[in-house]
Structure 1
Amino acid sequence: QPDLRRFLRRRRIAGRIARRGVESTERLGRHRWKIERTIAWLDGYRRLTVRYERNGRNFLGFLCLAAAITCWKKLPHPT
């Protein structure tokens, strides 16, 4: 986990975990829905939902492919 924390810190991504009495869940919800929405988009790919790949590199490859396809679908396409 320390490696992951350094990875996120280099990209200026901060963890946001609500603690009782410190930060309200309403305020945290503004950030949380983005993550939940993204995970819901990726749940549409069966190969990622049920992890068939034992090799982490293959799984990461499919995850990147699913994210790229999802972004492509969200782009405005000329009609």
Structure 2
Amino acid sequence: MKPSEAGDEPWAVIEPLLPKKPCRTRRPGRKRLDDRPALRGILFVPHTGISWEHPPQELGYGSGMTCRRRPKE
């Protein structure tokens, strides 16, 4: 199964395991990418074998560096 084809069932298992989003109070900069597209991007890179710098942004994953950093957050 392609990461972009994962439906609601796997997400229902994964979502409770993720840390809560940090509170965003008066901080400049971009808003954080939602967890679901970030996870799809994280799974897309090893599935396709492309580098972290080149996931297609039109698929909604954000930048490759965003997906690469997310597990550390």
TM-score, structure 1 normalization: 0.29
Structure whose CA Rg is larger: 1
Q: Which has the higher contact order (CA 8 A, sep 6+)?
A: 2
TM-score by length of 2: 0.31
